[in-house]
C-alpha cells in the first residue's frame, strides 16, 4: 500500500481500528481468532493500529499488547484516554465516565503503557473532550506526557474546529479522529478545513457506516438479530423507522459497487481515501476475509465518475436518522449537520 502520513509517521492509508475485537459489536471473537486477525493485518502491510483504554475496559489494549508488542517496531500505535470505567457500587452497574482531568489522563496513560507492553505510545488521543475541563488543561496534561517521553504525539477525537484550534494553540495536535463516511459528513462542515489549515492529519473511524456500507445488514431481519448490547441498537439510523428508509438506498449503492467491479466496502473506503492525502481510514473487523477485502480498496483505481455517483447517492441529504442516539450526541463536540 502507498503510505500516507500522520505527523511524523508513515502509515497504511487503510489501517485497523481494533475496537470490535473486544467491545461494542456484540459477541467478541475468541482470543485465538482475535490474534489471527491482528497478525494477518500486520502481515498484509497494516502499519497503524488504533485502540483505547475504553475498549473492553482495558481488554483491547491487553490483547493488542500481547499479540503485537513483539513486533513493536513494525507499526504506529495509537490509543486514547478520557473515557474511563466508573465502578459500580453494588446497586448501580459499572459504566463509563468522561474524565479529562490531568490526574485521570496521567493514570490512564500509565495503565495503557502496561497493558500495551510498550514504553511509549506513538499517538495518544483525548477520546472525548470533558466539557467540565478546559481543553487547554487536558491538552496541557498530554503535553506533559510528551515531555516525559510516554507518548510521542497528541490527537483529539470527536471535537469541533473551534476546539481543535484552541487545543492546537496549547500544543501541536498531530491528528483528529472522528466518524466520516459516505453517510456521515459532519467533518465537511468545518473540521476537515481546520485540519488542513493547521497541518493536522484526519483519521476517519467507522468509514463503512458501522457495517451498513459493507452490506453487513442487508435487511431488517439482520438488524433485529443484532445482539442486545450491540452498539448499533440505539443508533437512530438502525431503528425500524429510519432503516426502512435507508434500505432502498443501500440497494442502489450495492448495485453501483457491482457496476464498478468492486465490493460495497471497497467503494466506501475508496471514497473516503479520495477526500485527501491527509485522510487515513481505520475500519474495524473480526474477519480475516473482510480485512483482506477492506485492504483491497487501497489498490482500487475507480473513476471520478463512480466516486461522484457514490457521493451523490449516499450523503447527508439522502440518509435518514442521526448518527448517534441522544446521549452520545451530548457527549461529542463535533459540528452537527442536524443541529
For the chain, the structural domain boundaries read 4-210+271-300
Instruction: State the average pLDDT over residues 79-108.
Output: 80
Instruction: State the average pLDDT over residues 42-51.
Output: 98
* pLDDT number for residue 84: 82
Q: Under a CB-based contact definition with an 8 Å cutoff, are residues 195 and 164 in contact?
A: yes
Mean pLDDT value across the chain = 95
Please tell me which residue in 25, 55, 180, 253 is annotated as part of the active site.
Answer: 55
Instruction: Measure the CA–CA gap between 279 and 260, rounded to whole angstroms.
Output: 23
pLDDT (tens digit, 9 = 90+) per residue, 160-190?
A: 999 999 999 999 999 999 999 999 999 999 9
Top-level class of domain 4-210+271-300: alpha beta
Q: Counting Cβ atoms within 10 Å, is residue 269 exposed (0-12), middle (13-18) or buried (19+)?
A: buried
Which residue intervals of 148-239 are DSSP H helices? Answer: 161-170, 191-198, 220-224
Q: Is the pLDDT of residue 232 over 70?
A: yes
* pLDDT number for residue 47: 98
Q: Give percent above pLDDT 90 in the chain.
A: 93
Instruction: Measure the CA–CA gap between 23 and 231, rounded to whole angstroms.
Output: 9
pLDDT (tens digit, 9 = 90+) per residue, 13-25?
A: 999 999 999 988 9
Q: Is the pLDDT of residue 86 over 90?
A: no
Report which DSSP code applies to 126.
E
CA neighbours within 13 Å on the CB side: how many for 174? 21
Q: Is the pLDDT of residue 235 over 90?
A: yes
Instruction: Measure the CA–CA gap between 155 and 75, rounded to whole angstroms.
Output: 17
Q: Is the pLDDT of residue 109 over 90?
A: yes
Instruction: Measure the CA–CA gap between 252 and 267, rounded to whole angstroms.
Output: 13
Q: Is the pLDDT of residue 89 over 70?
A: no
Q: Is the pLDDT of residue 292 over 70?
A: yes
Q: Judge whether 180 counts as a catalytic residue.
A: no
* pLDDT number for residue 87: 54
Q: Which three cell numbers stand for residue 320?
A: 435518514
Q: Under a CB-based contact definition with an 8 Å cutoff, are residues 246 and 321 in contact?
A: yes
Instruction: State the average pLDDT over residues 265-291.
Output: 97
* pLDDT number for residue 56: 92
Instruction: State the average pLDDT over residues 98-125.
Output: 97
Q: Is the pLDDT of residue 92 over 80?
A: no
Find cell 466518524 and name the residue: 179
Instruction: State the average pLDDT over residues 297-313.
Output: 97
276: left (phi over 0), alpha (psi -120 to 50) or beta: left
**Three-class secondary structure of residue 77 per DSSP:** strand
Amino acid at each position: 500500500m502507498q503510505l500516507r502520513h500522520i505527523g511524523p509517521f508513515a502509515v497504511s492509508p487503510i489501517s485497523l481500528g481494533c475496537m470490535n475485537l473486544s467491545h461494542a459489536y456484540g459477541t467478541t471473537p475468541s482470543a485465538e481468532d482475535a490474534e489471527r486477525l491482528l497478525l494477518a493485518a500486520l502481515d498484509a502491510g497494516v502499519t497503524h493500529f488504533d485502540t483505547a483504554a475504553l475498549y473492553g475496559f482495558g481488554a483491547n489494549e491487553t490483547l493488542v499488547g500481547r499479540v503485537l508488542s513483539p513486533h513493536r517496531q513494525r507499526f504506529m500505535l495509537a490509543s486514547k484516554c478520557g473515557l474511563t470505567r466508573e465502578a459500580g457500587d453494588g446497586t448501580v452497574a459499572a459504566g463509563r465516565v468522561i474524565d479529562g482531568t490531568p490526574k485521570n489522563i496521567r493514570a490512564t496513560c500509565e495503565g495503557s503503557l502496561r497493558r500495551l507492553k510498550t514504553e511509549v505510545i506513538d499517538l495518544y488521543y483525548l477520546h472525548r473532550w470533558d466539557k467540565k475541563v478546559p481543553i487547554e488543561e487536558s491538552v496541557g496534561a498530554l503535553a506533559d506526557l510528551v515531555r516525559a517521553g510516554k507518548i510521542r504525539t497528541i490527537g483529539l477525537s470527536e471535537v469541533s474546529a473551534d476546539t481543535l484550534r484552541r487545543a492546537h494553540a496549547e500544543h501541536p495536535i498531530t491528528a483528529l479522529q472522528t466518524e466520516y463516511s459516505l453517510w456521515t459528513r459532519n467533518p465537511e462542515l468545518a473540521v476537515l478545513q481546520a485540519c488542513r489549515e493547521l497541518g493536522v492529519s484526519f483519521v476517519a473511524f467507522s468509514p463503512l457506516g458501522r457495517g451498513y456500507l459493507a452490506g453487513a445488514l442487508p435487511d431488517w431481519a439482520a438488524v433485529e438479530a443484532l445482539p442486545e448490547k450491540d452498539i448499533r441498537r440505539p443508533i437512530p439510523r438502525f431503528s425500524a423507522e429510519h432503516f426502512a428508509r435507508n434500505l432502498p438506498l443501500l440497494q442502489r449503492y450495492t448495485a453501483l459497487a457491482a457496476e464498478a467491479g468492486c465490493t460495497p466496502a471497497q467503494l466506501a473506503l475508496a471514497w473516503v481515501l479520495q477526500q485527501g492525502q491527509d485522510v487515513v481510514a481505520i475500519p474495524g473487523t473480526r474477519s480475516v476475509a473482510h480485512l483482506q477485502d477492506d485492504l483491497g480498496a487501497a489498490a482500487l483505481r475507480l473513476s471520478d465518475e463512480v466516486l461522484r455517483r457514490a457521493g451523490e447517492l449516499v450523503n447527508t441529504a439522502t440518509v435518514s436518522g442521526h448518527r448517534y442516539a441522544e446521549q452520545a450526541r451530548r457527549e461529542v463536540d463535533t459540528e452537527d449537520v442536524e443541529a
